[in-house]
Chains A and B, each alone.
Chain A
Amino acid sequence: MPTEIEIRSLSKWYGKQQVLKGITTDVNRGEALVVIGPSGSGKTTLLRCINLLEEFQEGEIRIAGEPMGYSVDAGGKRVRRSEAEIARMRAKLGMVFQSFNLFPHMSALKNVALGPVRVLGTPRKEAAEQARAMLARVGLADKADATPAQLSGGQQQRVAIARALAMKPKAMLFDEVTSALDPELVAEVLDVMRQLVQEGMTMVIVTHEMAFAQAFAHRALFMAEGEIVEQGEPTRLFSDPQSPRLQAFLKRFKEGYQL
């Protein structure tokens, strides 16, 4: 399988504090990678670096072979690419946020159609049809005209997934997408994500849903203090953790509370 996302020696600092310490990993096409770890481990920051919602100072990210965010000029200096180029790269990645971040002044349909119309230049009528299809795919065909405020959290998050899918992305990034949901609404969102895994979508999923990770992810990656501590096939990783930190993390999880 070809590599969709390459991450090489990625390092990031907030002032003097280093929050990512030389992360290196690849995400293959069709792979569902789950990133777990305690809060403050840098997992969300890593995800946000992939589509450059966070800047990073060292290392390199490539999407389908093309460098994200920065390029190296003739003199070997690292320069930030233009906003237009960065925007074009971001359009290849779908992002779903913890707090949904739907546009409150637009209907579900317009939320989904905005990207295709404004970024891809799809004609409005065609984009609206596609948007309807996307909403049907996440089980919300009847909510096309609803505004975000009229939808439950689970429905909003499914619209957000449809919005990202409408861009026909090469990969999808999920940032703790079920953390802000009431427990009874989590399943409907995970169902949609499971479906995407089965359809072969490339996905990077930051989550606390261990059962989901174990059942559907191809690989799990455990981060702590800005480093990858351990990774592997989820079932093996969770049943037979090697590092003390992952052991402690999993133990706390089983006991029912998180750090």
Chain B
Amino acid sequence: MAVDFTFLTRVAPALAEGLTNTLTLAAAAIVLAAAWGVPVVMALLSRYRTVSGLAQAYVEVVRNTPILVLMFFIFFGSGFAGYPLSGFVAGLIALVLQNGAYAAEIYRGGIRAVSQRMPEAGMALGLTPRRSFGLIVLPIALRNVIPPLSNQGVMVIKDTSIAATISVAEITFKARLLADSTAAVFEIFFTLALFYLAITAIFSGAMRLLEWRVRIA
């Protein structure tokens, strides 16, 4: 098998057409999932059994269902119900539903990792439990969750490739189109892999920078 690496220069621009879609979908999914995780973790930690129970059930369901099936369900389901969503929107919803649950669990872990003594020290100063949580526990917990959130973000970036199956014209979709029309499939998927490696490396590098900026020295 002869591998023609000069093909790279011709493949890369073709794939790059899908780059905007990949990046937009990934960025939107990461931001919205991180945001959606907040009400979910609040529900998980709720004093009311019904609320925390429902939240726990939601987390279990979306965590134990493949993202592909979630995408199919939302994409084809929305069409059938008479409110057809674009592949992009359906894919985004699926990614946010699943990763919001993961984010909530990460937040819960981050809060639990803060020593019980911290809110106590705040209360001894005369802060109410609620304010002690907001002013002291939360800022510490937010620092704790940057590394696991970053890992989850990488997962989201990789999972955007699955939206190709519901006709989102992102880079994996483009690669597959190219592969169907040319013989240089190895080069195409090699280039595609390089794209993902670059995106995930930039993302986790940026997150490490953020972690370093807010580190507790």
Residues of A near any B CB (own CB < 8 A) = 51, 53, 83-84, 86-88, 90-95, 97, 99, 101-105, 114-115, 118-119, 147, 149-150, 163-164, 167
Residues of B within 8 A of A102 (CB): 121
Least Cβ–Cβ distance between B53 and chain A, in angstroms: 26
At the interface, yes or no: B10 with Cβ under 8 Å from chain A?
no
A139 to B217, CA, bound (A): 22
Binary contact track B106-140/A, C-beta < 8 Å → 1, others 0: 00000000010110111111111111000110011
Tell me whether A105 and B139 are in contact (CB under 8 A).
Answer: yes
Instruction: Take A114-B135, A147-B216 as given contacts and tell me if A101 and B125 are in contact as well, using a CB distance cutoff of 8 Å.
Output: no
Contact B125 A167 (CB under 8 A): yes
A104 and B143 CA atoms in complex are apart in Å by: 11
* B-side contacts of A97, CB under 8 Å: 117, 120-121, 124
A53 and B129 contact, CB distance less than 8 A:
no
- Give A54 to B103 CA distance when docked, in angstroms: 33
Question: In whole angstroms, what is the CA distance A142 to B128 when docked?
Answer: 31
Tell me if B's interface is mostly helix, strand, loop or mixed: helix
Chain B residue nearest to A98 in the complex (CB): B117
B120: which A residues are within 8 A, CB to CB? 53, 97, 101
| B141 CB to nearest A CB, Å | 10
* B121 proximity list for chain A (CB < 8 A): 95, 97, 101-103
Contacts of A99 on B, CB cut-off 8 Å? 117
> What residues on B are CB-neighbors of A147 within 8 Å?
216-217
Nearest chain-A residue to B123 (Cβ)?
A: A90
Q: How far is the CA of A149 from the CA of B115 in the complex (A)?
A: 15
User: Does the CB pair A90–B135 fall under 8 Å?
Assistant: no
Residues of B within 8 A of A150 (CB): 217
Binding site for A on B (CB under 8 A): 115, 117-118, 120-131, 135-136, 139-140, 143, 216-217
Name the residue of chain A whose CB is nearest to the CB of B117. A101
Q: Which of B115, B122, B126, B140 contacts A167 (CB 8 A)?
A: B126
B117 and A87 contacting across the interface, CB-CB below 8 Å = no
A130 to chain B, nearest CB (A): 14
| Cβ-neighbour of B125 out of A84, A86, A115 (below 8 A) | A115
B125 touches A119 (CB 8 A): yes
Is there contact, CB below 8 Å, between B123 and A87?
yes
A217 to B139 alpha-carbon distance, docked (Å): 39
Least distance between A100 CB and chain B CB atoms (Å)? 9
Tell me the bound Cα distance from A83 to B124 in angstroms: 12
Chain A residues within an 8 Å CB radius of B135:
114, 118
CB <8 Å contact, B117 and A84: no
* Residue in A closest to B137 when the chains form the complex, CB atoms: A103
A90–B126 touching, CB < 8 Å: yes
Distance in Å: Cβ of B99 to nearest Cβ of chain A: 26
B217 to chain A, nearest CB (A): 5
Taking CB atoms, residues of chain B closer than 8 Å to A88 are 126
Are A87 and B128 within 8 A (Cβ)?
yes
Which residues on the A side are within 8 Å of B217 (C-beta)?
147, 149-150
* Contact A87 B216, CB 8 Å, known A105-B140, A105-B143: no
Q: Is the CB of A87 within 8 A of B139?
A: no
- Nearest chain A CB to B147's CB is how many angstroms away? 16
